[in-house]
């Protein structure tokens, strides 16, 4: 999640001094590094020609041999319910550790005869029962096999119980364990969060279970498809409050024993437990209790009021949009001082970073307010899509997160209709991920299950492809089906699979039913045939329209056309492409490109409103006509038309080294554009222009070093940021600003090469807008062309 930096006039001068000092330091370090590298390469044993070097011995790949060697659970047992009792200690013990103790009983059904019980458990110390880690009992008077032995596996994070005889298929059993764990500050499982209030250190016991951390809180079948009902009881100090997914039922004294209503049938990763001294504010709808929890000082300063006010209309919108009532009796949302994710959609108890839920009406910016609205809308969208109906396995994570990333704009737009917030979908999702998905190292939205099995592989799925491309592709699907048909298909899907698990093809089937039941809606292939090409192969096409010949073609777009794509595609990297277009300012009937090359009519502007997930290229004459039209009337297209055209020009120059295209005059388009969203696009484009300077002036590809602005919605973004130092490159990229009337972010991209060809690009125009109160529509006047030289680059932005 991106950070926003605010600057005064003095701060600007200080920044300039620091930038010059840093640049001089980098140059000096580069010289020293270059000399040292040259010296080292001439020494024996350092990889110089004619020498040998010592390498680490190769590691032998681990080959699973027995059931507990596999990262996926066997399919012989299915949980029905859990009774979980936890007692977190908010004061350290004699060893200085914060701990929790607990016990758990899981009732499970045996689906086929087996003499093994394999259940997830990690970082827990178990109480022994006659030398065993657990006790087994019958749930319905069945004969209970005796335990032969039990052990823990570190690699696959299991508790394994070997039985002397087999469990019987169809019978129900209960496995009881008692355990102790550490309330560590590692932001995983059941963990400890700390903060200062009035000079005193406060402790919160809280949780983060997604994707594979519930096993650190209690033994469980920790896979999304292993849904069950959870009965939670938390023991805690009388001066604290306990929260979980269900409503509180009862309390005890002298220590509090808070029990909760049983949850609905749900996955382990959606569980949450919290013990704190937080307070709440509350409102309600006809059947839902809505509470916002936070530190006392934050609530007293009314920082939770906006979240409380916006939650109700967002929930009402989703109930209408999904044609499905909110599935629970309460909606708790809590702001945590220490939280690794931006937010987490725990069912009935959503957890947030403080910056993603709290809004200070006296100090926070308008952008902070927008961020709070977006994040709340994203997480509440999951209450149905993801929680009520859950993915079968993490290889289809994009369906959960891509969907929430798309409909969050619809929910936020309903809550704040004057903001035109749906326009940000193009900036935050479509344009951002087009740059990432144009790399040969990208991956498909849906991957094979065997590619995603280890916890580390699961965590890697929380990336921009799953979130941003998922949102962009679903937006495209909604556009060509129309939103009402799309919503009807979703409603059928959610009602059919409520409290169950699905795979992506189930959604295609229900959307196809909606299409079949809509007279007059005609698509050239089935929903499945169209969408599989967008989800089962990576990347996207560039559609080239030649208005001289009437030819329309498609090709897999790569930022580096010389890169080798190592991942094969069953569709040979071709797509069924829905193209919305206009001619002479008039929208035309949607066109489908089904083959690599077809003939068509004269086209003017394709992919209007960036409705499809692809890039567009034209012959030079049509590029010129488009820019001339925008010079005459840039509002002939959607607000994103001008910025999108400029971005397409930059990308095609980058991918094809098209010098003629780069020389087209785009200055008028930039100068006349007064729309805040379009101005924001320009700052992003100029950063990408620095990439072009690298590629064609300095001869290196730094596109992977540019990280997108996080915007504040997706929790995956902070987790998956990679270091910006790569070998002999040092890069810095801070998030771009969104609108010029808001508090400003500085955009800086620094690159230093060992050959001493050095440049720095800093975009100060938005900073000047805020600092000197210059009207926003003059921003484009400062953004001037980047001047290219053969061996040198100069950037003039104002």
Binding positions for Zn(2+)? 378, 382, 401
Strand partners, 167: 114
Q: Please state the length of the chain.
A: 798
DSSP string, 130-151: TTBS-EEEESSS---PPEEEEE
- CA–CA separation, 287 and 284 (whole Å): 7
Binding site membership: which residues? 378, 382, 401
For 186, residues 6+ apart whose C-beta sits below 8 A from its C-beta are: none
- CA–CA separation, 623 and 9 (whole Å): 41
Q: Is 379 a catalytic residue?
A: yes
- CA–CA separation, 105 and 176 (whole Å): 4
Question: What does DSSP say about strands 551-556 and 541-546: parallel, antiparallel, or unpaired?
Answer: antiparallel
Q: Judge residue 649's burial from the number of C-beta atoms within 10 Å of its C-beta, 0-12 exposed, 13-18 middle, 19 or more buried.
A: buried
- CA–CA separation, 212 and 449 (whole Å): 16
Of these residues, 379, 408, 416, 460, which one is catalytic? Answer: 379
For residues 133 and 95, the answer to whether their CB atoms sit within 8 Å is no
Maximum Cα interatomic distance, the chain, rounded to a whole number of Å: 85
Q: Residue 556, CB half-sphere, CA atoms under 13 Å: how many?
A: 24
Degrees, nearest 5: CA angle 218-223-228: 70
3-state class (DSSP) for residue 475: helix
For 665, residues 6+ apart whose C-beta sits below 8 A from its C-beta are: 627
Three-state secondary structure along 374-419? HHHHHHHHCCCECCCEEECCHHHHHHHHHHHHHHHHHHHHHHCHHH
For 496, residues 6+ apart whose C-beta sits below 8 A from its C-beta are: 510
Strand partners, 543: 554, 616
DSSP string, 84-116: EEEEE-SS--TTS--EEEEEEEEEEEESS-EEE
For residues 322 and 283, the answer to whether their CB atoms sit within 8 Å is no
Report the Cα–Cα distance between both ends of the chain, in Å, rounded: 29
- Active-site residues: which are they? 379
């Amino acid at each position: 999640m991106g950070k926003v930096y605010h600057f005064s006039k003095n701060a600007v001068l200080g920044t300039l001094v620091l930038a010059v000092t840093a640049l001089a330091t980098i140059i000096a370090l580069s010289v020293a590094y270059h000399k040292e590298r040259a010296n080292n390469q001439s020494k024996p044993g350092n990889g110089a020609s004619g020498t040998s070097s010592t390498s680490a011995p190769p590691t032998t790949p681990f080959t699973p041999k027995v059931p507990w060697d596999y990262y996926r659970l066997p399919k012989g047992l299915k949980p029905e319910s859990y009774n979980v009792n936890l007692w977190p200690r908010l004061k350290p013990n004699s060893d200085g550790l914060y701990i929790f103790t607990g016990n758990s009983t899981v009732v499970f059904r045996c689906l086929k005869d087996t003499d093994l019980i394999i259940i997830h458990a990690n970082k827990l110390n178990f109480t022994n029962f006659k030398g065993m880690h657990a006790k087994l009992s019958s749930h319905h008077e069945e004969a209970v096999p005796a335990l032969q032995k039990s052990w823990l596996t570190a690699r696959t994070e299991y508790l394994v119980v070997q039985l002397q005889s087999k469990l019987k298929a169809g019978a129900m059993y209960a496995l009881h364990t008692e355990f102790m764990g550490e309330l560590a500050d590692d932001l995983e499982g059941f963990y400890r969060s700390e903060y200062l209030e009035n000079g005193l250190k406060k402790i919160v016991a809280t949780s983060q279970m997604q994707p594979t951390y519930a096993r650190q809180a209690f033994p469980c079948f920790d896979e999304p498809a292993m849904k069950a009902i959870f009965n939670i009881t938390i023991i805690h100090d009388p001066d604290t409050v306990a929260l979980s997914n269900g409503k509180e039922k009862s309390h005890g004294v002298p220590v509090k024993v808070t029990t909760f209503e049983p949850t609905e049938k749900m996955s382990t990763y959606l569980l949450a437990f919290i013990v704190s001294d937080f307070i709440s504010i509350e409102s309600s709808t006809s059947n839902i209790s809505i509470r916002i929890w936070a530190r006392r000082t934050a609530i007293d300063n009314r920082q939770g009021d906006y979240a409380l006010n916006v939650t109700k209309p967002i929930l009402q919108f989703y109930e209408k949009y999904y044609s499905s009532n909110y599935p629970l009796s309460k909606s708790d949302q809590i702001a945590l001082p220490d939280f690794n994710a931006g937010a987490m959609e725990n069912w009935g108890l959503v957890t947030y970073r403080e910056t993603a839920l709290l809004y200070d009406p006296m100090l926070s910016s308008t952008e902070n307010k927008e961020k709070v609205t977006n994040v709340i809308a994203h997480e509440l969208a999951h209450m149905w899509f993801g929680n009520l109906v859950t993915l079968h396995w993490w290889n289809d994570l994009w369906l959960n997160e891509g969907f929430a990333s798309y409909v969050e704009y619809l929910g936020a737009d309903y809550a704040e209709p004057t903001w035109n917030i749906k326009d940000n979908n193009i900036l935050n999702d479509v344009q951002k991920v087009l740059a990432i998905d144009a790399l040969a190292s990208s991956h498909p939205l849906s991957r094979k299950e065997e590619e995603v099995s280890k916890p580390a592989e699961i965590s890697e799925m929380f990336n921009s492809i799953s979130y941003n491309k998922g949102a962009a592709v679903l937006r495209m699907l909604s556009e060509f089906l129309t939103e009402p048909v799309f919503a009807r298909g979703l409603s059928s899907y959610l009602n059919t699979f409520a409290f169950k698990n699905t795979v992506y093809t189930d959604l295609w089937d229900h959307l196809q039913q909606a299409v079949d039941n809509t007279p007059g809606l005609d698509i050239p292939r089935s929903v499945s045939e169209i969408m599989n090409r967008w989800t089962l192969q990576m990347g996207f096409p560039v559609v080239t329209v030649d208005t001289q010949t009437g030819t329309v073609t498609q090709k897999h777009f790569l930022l580096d056309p010389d890169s080798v794509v190592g991942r094969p595609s069953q569709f040979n990297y071709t797509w069924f492409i829905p193209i919305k277009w206009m001619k002479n300012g008039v929208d035309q009937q949607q066109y489908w490109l089904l083959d690599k090359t077809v003939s068509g009519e004269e086209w003017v502007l394709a992919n209007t409103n960036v409705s499809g997930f692809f890039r567009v290229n034209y012959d030079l004459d049509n590029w010129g006509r488009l820019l001339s039209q925008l010079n005459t009337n840039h509002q002939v297209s959607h607000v994103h038309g001008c910025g999108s055209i400029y971005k397409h020009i930059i990308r095609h120059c980058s991918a094809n080294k098209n010098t003629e295209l780069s020389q087209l005059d785009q200055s008028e388009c930039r100068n006349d554009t007064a729309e805040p969203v379009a101005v924001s696009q320009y700052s992003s484009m100029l950063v990408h222009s620095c990439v072009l300077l690298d590629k064609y002036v300095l001869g290196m590809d730094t596109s992977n070093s540019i990280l997108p602005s996080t915007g504040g919605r997706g929790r995956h973004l902070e987790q998956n940021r990679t270091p910006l130092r790569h070998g002999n490159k040092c890069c810095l990229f801070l998030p771009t600003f969104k609108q010029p009337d808001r508090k400003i972010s500085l955009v800086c991209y620094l690159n230093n090469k060992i050959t001493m060809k050095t440049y720095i690009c800093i975009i100060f125009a938005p900073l000047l807008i805020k600092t000197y109160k210059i009207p926003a529509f003059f921003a484009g006047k400062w953004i001037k062309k980047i001047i290219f030289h053969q061996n040198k680059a100069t950037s003039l932005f104002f």
